[in-house]
Amino acid sequence: MGEPCIVSIDEGTTGTRALLIDGNGQVVKQAYRRLNVFYPYPGWVEQDAMEIWESTRSVLAEVIDMARAMSRDIVALAISNQRETTVMWDAETGKPLCPAIVWQCRRTEDICAELRQSKDTEDFVLEKTGLPIDPYFSATKIAWMLDAIDGARTLAEQGKILVGTVDSWLVWNLTGGAMHITDATNAARTQLMDIHSLSWSDALAQIFEVPLRCLPTIVPSGERQGTTSQVQGVPNDIPILAIMGDSQAALYGEAAFPRGDAKVTYGTGSSILVNTGSKPMSPQKGLAATVAWQVHGETFYALEGIIHSTGAGIEWLREGLQIISDAGECERLAQSMADTGDVFFVPAFAGLGTPWWNSKARGTIVGITRGTKREHIVRAALDAIAFQVKDVFDAIDAITSHASGVIYCGGGGSRNGYLMQFQADLLQRPIVTSNNPEASSMGVANMAGLVAGLWTDSDLIVRRESLPGKRYLPKKASVEMEPLVSRWHEAVKRSFNWV
């Protein structure tokens, strides 16, 4: 037998990556495939579920071939995934019945608005799930699919239709249809799981009109969760030992085990997770309570701030306005100007999340004059990312006593030095960036290695402390930042109630 290795799959919104990780937790090989995202109508966001699966199978097979060439022994698979994105498929044929509805999609706003008309319903859902009623989460996506497909509700109640988030879809395919499961971190994002009992709720299923029979079985984040079977290019019987939503996996990947430690993931959208320990906190001020991870019989919880569009603003500058050719040039362009010229950019392409939860907000750029240049807009787009993160931390700090924990920053935006320094100045706290941009992949691999017995929690802490992540300290006083925050909030309010 060769050296034991783990293959970690990170299925994200815009691409799928597989990493080959050795027994020391080091990445030795990787493969990547870009994914298409479709916007058929305003506010609608879709993906091809078969493309998601095929990209996963492809990168997995490629990395397995690399492992064979290196005489490495794969002892486990680990999966991190985009979370609330929802797939519905035929239980017999395995074929998707419609496009996957992506977490960003706002098509179910009318369903949510109707549910929110009852304060009792809204309060009950928030208390049971830790989540506000919003199209972001999976429950109303499932309800929409069941209504949109002829006969789907009857078939779902008969067990002939299966529904799940992306982790469920991947595991079902990886195991040849043997396992229809989801882990607690992903189930917590559906708005159908009671986060106190960690089980599907009959009451929630009735509220959202989703038959429980079509849902996967909830399992811990880390345990033996089936084995590979009948997958082209993939050997049978590789155990799947860990599944986690990508944001939770990133938190775990930073060994953010102490209460108060936080992780900011800068992606298409952003998630800010703060470890709150073994009991869920009551969500307040637009925050969500969620499951951080579950392993070895222990469950940890987190408070989460959800930002719909951060990196999406940079993508729009590149793809929509075409004023940049690559996200990598944003740092240089931003630093070429002394300020934004009083331009503020609110990237509310799909409404606003924490702390506002305003689904009718729309993207807004204010303060443009004849002297405004593209550099001003680029800098304002970067500033908008940091301002949104600042708003979330203000909400978190207002209700917790753990405002002094370490803030770990990862994802594409964490490689932008201008953004990270501006973030530190706004938060008035040191932040630490990860030298590993694939924190989600590493986090779920860390859990798989824990289950496999390759390392311990203590090993993970030592490993994290040895990483040379860059540290940013505040360079400006809070009094200098306060006027900018006030102007930002003025711009945010102008984005409200556009539709």
Q: Give the SS3 label for residue 360.
A: coil
The strand ranges marked E within 330-475 are: 344-346, 364-366, 407-411, 431-433, 471-472
- CA-based angle 436:441:446, to the nearest 5? 95
- CA-based angle 173:175:180, to the nearest 5? 75
d(CA 273, CA 256): 10
Mean pLDDT of 219-237: 94
d(CA 192, CA 163): 12
* 17 is a domain residue: yes
* 325 is a domain residue: yes
Instruction: Give the residue from 245, 275, 307 where a domain finishes.
Output: 245
Containing 175, the helix (H) or strand (E) segment is none
What pLDDT sits at residue 499? 59
Residue 267 confidence class, pLDDT cut points 50, 70, 90: confident
228 with 286, same domain? Answer: no
d(CA 345, CA 481): 17
239 with 310, same domain? Answer: no
d(CA 416, CA 98): 38
93 with 233, same domain? Answer: yes
Q: Which domain holds residue 398?
A: 255-433+469-499
Q: CB under 8 Å to 8, separation ≥6 — which residues?
A: 18, 19, 21, 77, 78, 79, 80, 441, 442, 444, 445, 448
310 with 363, same domain? Answer: yes
Residue 468 confidence class, pLDDT cut points 50, 70, 90: low
Residue 285 confidence class, pLDDT cut points 50, 70, 90: confident
275 with 311, same domain? Answer: yes
* 452 is a domain residue: no
304 with 354, same domain? Answer: yes
Q: CB under 8 Å to 380, separation ≥6 — which residues?
A: 340, 343, 344, 345, 365
pLDDT value at 497 more than 80: no
Q: Residue 434: name the closest of 417, 409, 457 by CA.
A: 409
321 with 194, same domain? Answer: no
What is the reported pTM? 0.86
Mean pLDDT of 171-181: 97
User: Is 1 or 303 the better-scoring residue by pLDDT?
Assistant: 303
Q: Residue 269: name the closest of 300, 304, 238, 293 by CA.
A: 304
pLDDT value at 1 more than 80: no
Bridge-based pairing state of the strands 270-277 and 288-295 = unpaired
Residue 404 confidence class, pLDDT cut points 50, 70, 90: low
* 440 is a domain residue: no
pLDDT tens-digit readout, 294-317: 999 999 999 999 898 998 999 999
pLDDT value at 402 more than 60: no
194 with 296, same domain? Answer: no
The strand ranges marked E within 223-269 are: 240-245, 262-266
What pLDDT sits at residue 26? 87
- The residue behind tokens 């990493």 is 19
Which residues on neighbouring strands pair with residue 73, listed in sequence order? 4
What pLDDT sits at residue 436? 66
129 with 151, same domain? Answer: yes
217 with 276, same domain? Answer: no
221 with 293, same domain? Answer: no
For residue 269 the two structure tokens come to 């959208």
* Contact yes or no for 138/168 (Cβ under 8 A): no
* 370 is a domain residue: yes
Q: CB under 8 Å to 85, separation ≥6 — which residues?
A: 13, 47, 100, 101, 102, 103, 165, 166
What pLDDT sits at residue 343? 97
pLDDT tens-digit readout, 15-73: 999 999 998 888 899 999 999 999 999 889 999 999 999 999 999 999 999 999 998 99
pLDDT tens-digit readout, 423-441: 999 999 888 887 666 778 9
280 with 397, same domain? Answer: yes
> Which CATH number belongs to the domain containing residue 272 in this structure?
3.30.420.40
